[in-house]
Amino acid sequence: MTGTVFDEVFLWSRSAKSTFTGTLSPYLECLGKVNPRNVDLVRIALGVLAADRSVQREGGGASWNTRSFELHVEVGDPDIWAREASNLATLVGFLTGDRWSFEFKQAVADDLDPPQIEELDFQRTVLLSGGADSATGALISALELADDTSQALVSQYSSTALSPIQQGLVEAIVGHAPKIREVHHQFHLNRGTRRLDGTTFRNETSTRSRSLLFLALGLAVAQPAAVPLLIPENGFASLNPPLGADRRGALSTHTTHPRFLRDLQALVERIGGHGRISNPFERMTKGEMFTRLRDGIGRGPASVYLSATNSCSHTDARYSGAPPGSSCGVCFGCLVRRASFAAADIPDATEYLCDDTTGRFSGFVRQKSVVEPMRDFADRGIRARDIMVMSLPPDYPASDALDVCRRGISELRSFLS
């Protein structure tokens, strides 16, 4: 664009000349006739993720800096999105902790008609990341459905190690609920490592924005069937209580925070898109979710099923020689997971790097460990003033948030003591 300088340019096209991985095109025609505003949302979310990955943070842990982004995106209706640019910036900023601004340009219209998709009679769409919560929610959802009905499962991965985990979970769900048809959409959509000119992108690994793309893809799958999108996540992690006074959150993200989900739904619906999003477990702990699954399929099967999931926050263990998809056992996600197995009285057969007796991964484990901050957090407990800074939506009472956090901390305290 004349007179404008871009620090980074991202191109998403059907041709081989693209910044992004995967085979999904920017018109999403493989999903059928998707609402153009939901197509736009996927484009915006992918641009946000690409920008997030391409600007490195200064510091880490509790000392992350706030970055500033100005993102230009081509969409089907720039005027509609321009009216929501400020709200979108606030929403994405809440997710990543950064400052965002958006400008929208007219995208080229698609010259291909989408094919007729036959598998659009499913009753709901469920996000299946490969983590324990999404796996629990997907299976509980299948068990609740009537025989001879179906649900769509949506998976997105950047690390190829997650792909077989997601596929294995779908096979397991079919085994536990054989009379329910599972329609699995698995997307590998991510920013590549090289720019169009062949030079290498800078790479920021935190990428808290990746969940926006996951949600946008889920809504795009759900929209042609006019069904809700379920994003299963325990309420304790969703609320993201701070580990200490110097942290905004507990080293997890705002992916499923009640405010974020409600604000995203409201924004998408205001522009005329499909935005029906629900977290059916927002007032349950992870241990309570595990217990519900155990009661549904049995203690032994629950152990096998849940142990095959991956809740680790760190996908870089392979650089220390660990097998792809390894779990460290000492990050926030792993510690809440281990506490939940114990709380639900389900044997945890997960292989954690912290339990390795060879010492090969001791350096990696020490670097990633938040055991001591988590122990201090569990001993201190949750306070009313911690709840007051959580930006809860009007329909989520502070008393409910305090209750679910106290129950979650109780599970942690029992495990870490």
Q: How does pLDDT run across 171-182, given as a tens digit for each residue?
A: 999 999 999 999
Q: Within this chain, do residues 325 and 266 fall inside the same structural domain, yes or no?
A: no
Q: Residues 63-79, buried b or exposed e (16+ Cβ, 10 A)?
A: ebeebebebebbbbebe
On whether residue 343 sits in a domain, the answer given is: yes
Mean pLDDT, residues 91-104 taken together: 94
Please give the model's pTM, rounded to 2 decimal places. 0.92
Question: CB of 287 within 8 A of CB of 343?
Answer: yes
- Range in 78-82, 265-269, 389-393 with the lowest mean pLDDT: 389-393
* pLDDT value of residue 118: 66
Q: Within this chain, do residues 351 and 243 fall inside the same structural domain, yes or no?
A: no
Longest dimension (CA), the chain: 64
Q: Residues 105-129, buried b or exposed e (16+ Cβ, 10 A)?
A: eebeebeeeeeeeeebebbbbbbbb
What's the pLDDT band for 2 if we cut at 50, 70, 90? very low
* Long-range Cβ pairs for the range 402-405 (8 Å, 24+): 404/235, 404/236, 404/239, 404/283, 404/284, 404/285, 405/236, 405/239, 405/241
On whether residue 87 sits in a domain, the answer given is: no
Residue ending a domain, choose from 278, 297, 319:
278
Q: Give the total number of structural domains in the chain.
A: 2
Q: Within this chain, do residues 161 and 238 fall inside the same structural domain, yes or no?
A: yes
On whether residue 328 sits in a domain, the answer given is: yes
Q: Within this chain, do residues 211 and 140 fall inside the same structural domain, yes or no?
A: yes
pLDDT of residue 57 exceeding 70, the answer is yes
Mean pLDDT, residues 356-375 taken together: 92
Q: Within this chain, do residues 145 and 273 fall inside the same structural domain, yes or no?
A: yes
Q: Percentage of the chain with pLDDT > 70?
A: 93
Q: Within this chain, do residues 174 and 262 fall inside the same structural domain, yes or no?
A: yes
Cβ-based burial of 295 (10 A; exposed 0-12, middle 13-18, buried ≥19) = exposed
| Structural domain boundaries enclosing 369 | 311-416
**Between 213 and 17, whose confidence is greater?**
213
* pLDDT value of residue 320: 79
pLDDT of residue 59 exceeding 70, the answer is no
- Range in 75-79, 153-157, 234-238, 318-322 with the lowest mean pLDDT: 318-322
